[in-house]
Amino acid sequence: MVVCVFLQVTISPETTLKGVYRQVMSKLVSENRQTELGGRLPAYDGQKSLFTAGELPFKSKEFVVTLPGRVEKRYKVVIKHATTVSLDQLFMLMAGYPTDIATQALQVLDIVLRDIVLNERNSME
């Protein structure tokens, strides 16, 4: 069975500035990918959902991320395991078998693809 892990993300303090949450998560991943995240490269929806291909080495963890600027801003990020999502139906569909695709599997695919595009665009700027 091919699964993806769905994690809930809470970032505080809340902000209305566009792109701040992605900056926070990008810095969190760059600083913790090989250690706290167990080498996983998560896909983030920019709000409250994070997906990984495989389990993280924790069920719930709190991180503190500091974004540089004229005044450094600290954010608390809490990542909690929510559920696992089977991707088997997507593989069956791609292999040509008729299947009912679960909404969560489509959401995973959508977020992963959007995250790839946004990260590619940000690395070009």
- For the stretch 71-118, pLDDT in tens is 899 999 999 999 888 777 777 777 777 766 667 777 788 888 888 777
d(CA 123, CA 84): 30
Q: Residue holding tokens 């809470």? A: 10
N- to C-terminal Cα separation, the chain = 38
* CB distance 40 to 53 below 8 Å: yes
* CB distance 64 to 74 below 8 Å: yes
Question: What global pTM score does this model have?
Answer: 0.80
Top pLDDT among 61 and 70 is at: 61
Q: Which residues contact 15 (CB under 8 A, 6 or more apart)?
A: 21
Burial of 26 (0-12, 13-18, 19+ CB in 10 A): middle
pLDDT band at 124 (very low <50, low <70, confident <90, very high): very low
β-bridge pairing 73-86 and 60-67: antiparallel
* CB distance 28 to 68 below 8 Å: no
